[in-house]
Chain A
Amino acid sequence: MSATGHDEKLAREAGEIARLLSYVLILIAAVGLFFTAAGIPTSRFERLGAGAFPKIVFAGIALVAAIAIIDALRKIPSGAYGRFTAQTVAWAKQRYLVFVTLAALAGYLILIPLLGFSIASFMFILGLELVLMPRRPATLVIAMIVAAIFSFGLNWLFAEVFTVFLPRGVL
């Protein structure tokens, strides 16, 4: 087997373990929510209460998740668990821009009510563009213009044309 083929096999195994963890988490959540649904009081006006449909759904999730766990345990070789952490770190390092983007989005969503839509959007667009773009003077100018249009411009468009007022901020 070539080195790339071996790496792919290791990555696939790590993926299977990550999926196994997701099945376990889903199973635990489904069982917990099933019991929460069982606690919803029923109405005397109907045969099925407000908790009946969720109970059916969460029982279904628990059943499928249990099958998925058994299937995944069958597929994963025992040695794969020891390599899981190293593989996950390598996967995350390769996709560091994803985490930067999601962190920027989280920061942006938190800042909107404080700074208002226009300023927060301008900072978010320009900041993320600076992280993602190839650094050239021309792209920097384009980035500034685009950030201004889709922050202050969009706010103006929604307020003046659609009479939808985006958050103004408290600061």
Chain B
Amino acid sequence: MESFLSGVAQIFTLATLIYMLAGSIAGIIAAAIPGFTVTMAIVLTLPLTFSMEPLQGIAVMLSVYVGGYTGGLISAALLGIPGTPSSVATTFDAFPMARRGEPGRALSLGVWASFFGTIISTVVLIVAAPPLAMFAVKLGPWEYFSLIVFALTIVASLVGDSVIRGMLAGLIGLAISTVGADPVMGRPRFDFGVEMLQAGLPFLVVLIGIFAISQLTSEVEDAESVRSGNALVTGAIDFQTWKVMKEVLMRPVNLVRSSIVGVLIGALPGAGGSIANLVAYDQAKRNSKDPESFGKGNPAGVVASEAGNSATAGGGLIPLIGLGIPGSAVDAILMASLMVHGISVGPRLIMDHADLVYGMFVAMAVASLMMLIVSVLSMRLFLRVAEVPKWLIVPVVMVCCVVGSFALNNRVTDLYLLGFIGVAGYALRALGYSLAPLVLGVILGPIAETNLRRALMTNEDPALFLTRPISLIFLIAAVLSIAWAIRGHLQHRKTPERNTDASAS
């Protein structure tokens, strides 16, 4: 209790709160720019925290982290471009909702879902950090591979109009992930002597090219609409703060389920927000009484994705605090900032520096509250983006995409790649391929390959995937997931036929 109070006292100082507020604002703005990830924002914050107290520094970085997960929502909802990989699923429903004339509601839903997702994950973190950390460390490559197989079956529910094109897109994503040095032995693959391909295709450049460039290009398809000065999103700029809060709280099952999914995935090293938002969205769609409305502006989809990705912030701290294993790039940077201050992170952290750990828990809750306040106060400003005409926003956001792609590795060749992938992305979009499975394939490909090969290097017996209980559970879940999706598609195909019959009779 004494340590807890000490942690609270360190967080609730004026200086720390001001720094945290600045961190929240920086995180939200950074993640709202396509291509500028939460990780990049945290990396840029790290040097600024060297001169601070350890807990103060960590609290600022957590504010950037929590703010960043919410910032990705802004471009996802208003431009249809995921600001960060963790807001890919947010574009599915928030963007159609904004297009339908409800941009304020879409943003507000996302902000509240993020807030509650972070709070739920903080509660879970406090209660379950030690046992969950012990569970996560027991998973071997067999379980990870089976988990990824399960995650890949999500493709089945993201395929859009055509199952075949959706599957092809998912497989093309996996194929893209195989370019460059292989993840186990570092052997070069598919570089065809081109230097740019030797290091592999950077995931972020692929994401920006596929989603942002293709989306922006498709905005100018209708010359008349662009030249008349039409805005990207039209409709009431009304944030509807309290009404939407009630709307989010009226979906307690979806909110808690998505948050738990986020916590569990965040607790697994290597996974993270980029997977959690898709899994949470998929679960919400499967459990919905009206799955047909997903992808067309269903509020449940926005709540699931945002609660899921925000909850990974707390989940990711579980293995970090419990075992000293960073679950994601962001957690690794948080760990580095503690190490800079001479604090060794590991199982003894909670014993040696209990005040710091409790302070981190409190900082998470305070950061999410700050994110909420900053969002509510500034959303009107962000919503002005919706009023900007297409002729202005298309070239400007394209330049932001170019900056985001370049700043990642400071490589001009990444820009050529961006252009190439952007054209390919537009072609795929125009041909009716669903782009979400492709991105999922690019994210999951290296994790699947690494764990498959690692499992077979450890033990050549492939039957272990079926005989290890947790691995078997994930594989059964994958089979059930596919069966469920096929059932859904068959029902979907029957319904229009029935309608046609009815109209013909």
Chain A bound to chain B: yes
Please list the residues of chain A having a beta carbon within 8 angstroms of any beta carbon in chain B.
Answer: 15, 18-19, 22-23, 26, 30, 33, 36-37, 40-41, 43, 45-54, 57-58, 60-61, 64-65, 67-68, 71, 94-98, 101-102, 105-106, 108-109, 112-113, 117, 121, 124-125, 128-129, 132-134, 139, 142-143, 146-147, 150-151, 154, 158, 162, 164-167
Are B406 and A64 touching (Cβ within 8 A)?
no
The residue from A15, A43, A143 contacting B432, defined by CB atoms under 8 A apart: A15
Q: A46-B456, A158-B407 are in contact. List 19 more A-B contacts (CB 8 A).
A: A19-B431, A37-B178, A43-B187, A46-B457, A53-B178, A58-B175, A64-B164, A68-B165, A97-B221, A98-B218, A102-B217, A102-B422, A102-B426, A105-B213, A105-B422, A132-B391, A139-B229, A154-B400, A154-B403
**Residue in B closest to A59 when the chains form the complex, CB atoms:** B171
Q: Is B412 an interface residue (CB 8 A)?
A: yes
How near does chain B come to A127, taking the closest CB pair, in angstroms?
8
Asked if residues B392 and A143 are in contact (CB atoms below 8 Å), the reply is: yes
A64–B185 CB distance below 8 A = no
Asked whether, in the complex, the Cβ of B172 is within 8 Å of the Cβ of A61, the reply is yes
Q: Known interface pairs A46-B453, A97-B221, A101-B220. Does A125 touch B395 (Cβ–Cβ under 8 Å)?
A: yes
Give the contact stretch, choosing among B286-294, B413-421, B484-492.
B413-421
The answer to the question of B203 belonging to the interface, with a C-beta cut-off of 8 Å to chain A, is: no
Cα distance A117–B190 in the bound complex, in angstroms: 31
Distance to closest chain B CB from A126 (angstroms): 8
Chain A's nearest CB lies how many Å from the CB of B41?
10
Given A67-B164, A98-B221, A101-B394, decide whether A54 and B456 contact each other with a Cβ distance below 8 A: no
Across the interface, name the chain A residue whose C-beta is closest to B41. A162
Neighbouring B residues of A165 by C-beta, 8 Å: 410
CA distance A12 to B422 in the complex (A): 24
Q: In the complex the two chains form, is A96's CB within 8 Å of B392's CB?
A: no
List the A residue with the shortest CB-CB distance to B415.
Answer: A109
A19-B432, A48-B452 known; A101+B217 contact, CB < 8 A: yes
Out of B168, B394, B407, B460, name the residue touching A164 (CB < 8 Å).
Answer: B407
Ordered by A's residue number, 18 sampled pairs between the chains whose C-beta atoms are within 8 Å are A22-B427, A22-B431, A46-B453, A47-B456, A48-B456, A50-B185, A53-B448, A60-B171, A61-B175, A64-B171, A68-B168, A98-B426, A105-B422, A112-B415, A132-B391, A146-B396, A164-B407, A166-B403
Please give, as numbers and ranges, the residues of chain B lying within 8 Å of A61 by CB-CB distance.
168, 171-172, 175
Task: Name the residue among A68, A98, A106, A113 with the largest chain B CB count within 10 angstroms.
Answer: A98
Within 8 A of A (CB), among B363-411: 389-392, 394-396, 398-400, 402-403, 406-407, 410
The 7 closest A-B CB pairs, nearest first, are A132-B391, A50-B182, A133-B391, A128-B395, A50-B187, A53-B449, A97-B220
User: Is B174 in contact with chain A by the CB < 8 A criterion?
Assistant: yes
The docked-state distance in angstroms from the alpha carbon of A13 to that of B274 is 37
Q: Which DSSP category, helix, strand, loop or mixed, fits chain A's interface?
A: helix
Q: Which chain B residue shows the least CB distance to A57?
A: B174
B219 to chain A, nearest CB (A): 9
Do A71 and B217 touch (CB < 8 A)? no
Cβ–Cβ contact A132 & B220, under 8 A: yes
Known contacts being A57-B178, A125-B396, is A43 close to B172, with CB within 8 Å?
no
List the A side residues contacting B52 at CB < 8 Å: none
Tell me the nearest residue of chain A to B213, going by C-beta: A105
Contact (Cβ within 8 A) B432 A97: no
Q: A46-B453, A61-B172, A134-B228 are in contact. Are A166 and B422 (CB under 8 A)?
A: no
The reply to whether B164 and A167 form a contact with Cβ atoms under 8 Å apart is: no
List of A residues within 8 angstroms of B431 by Cβ: 15, 18-19, 22
Q: How far is the CA of A36 from the CA of B190 in the complex (A)?
A: 8
Q: Smallest CB–CB gap between A133 and chain B, Å?
A: 4
Q: Which residues of B contact A (CB under 8 A)?
A: 44, 164-165, 167-168, 171-172, 174-175, 178, 182, 184-185, 187, 189-190, 213, 216-218, 220-221, 223, 226-229, 389-392, 394-396, 398-400, 402-403, 406-407, 410, 412, 415-416, 418-419, 422-423, 426-427, 431-432, 445, 448-449, 452-453, 456-457, 460
Whether the Cβ atoms of A134 and B229 lie closer than 8 Å is yes
Inter-chain contacts of A134 with B (CB < 8 A) = 227-229, 391
In the complex, chain A residues whose CB is within 8 Å of the CB of B390: 132
B residues less than 8 Å from A43 (CB atoms)? 185, 187
Identify which of A57, A112, A143 contacts B175 (C-beta below 8 A).
A57
The interface residues of chain A lying within 8 Å CB-to-CB of B449 are: 53
Contact between A26 and B187 (Cβ–Cβ < 8 Å)? no
Q: How far is the CA of A65 from the CA of B403 in the complex (A)?
A: 36
* A8 CB, min distance to chain B CBs, angstroms: 15
Q: Which residues of B contact A64 (CB under 8 A)?
A: 164, 167-168, 171
**Which residue of chain A has its CB nearest to the CB of B172?**
A61
Interface centre among B178, B226, B229 (most CB of A within 10 A): B178
Q: How far is the CA of A106 from the CA of B417 in the complex (A)?
A: 11
Determine the distance from Cα of A122 to Cα of B265 in the docked complex, in whole angstroms: 43
Indicate if the CB atoms of A150 and B415 lie closer than 8 Å.
no
- B402 in contact with A112 (CB, 8 Å): yes
Contact partners of B396 in chain A: CB under 8 A: 125, 146, 150
Enumerate chain B residues within 8 angstroms of A117, measured Cβ to Cβ. 403, 406
Query: Which A residues are in CB contact (< 8 Å) with B419?
Result: 105-106, 109
Question: Chain A residue with minimal CB distance to B166?
Answer: A64
Of A18, A37, A101, A158, most buried by chain B (CB within 10 Å of CB) is: A101
Q: Are B168 and A47 in contact (CB under 8 A)?
A: no
Contact status B403-A158, CB under 8 Å: yes
Q: What distance in Å separates the Cβ of B39 from its nearest Cβ neighbour in chain A?
A: 14
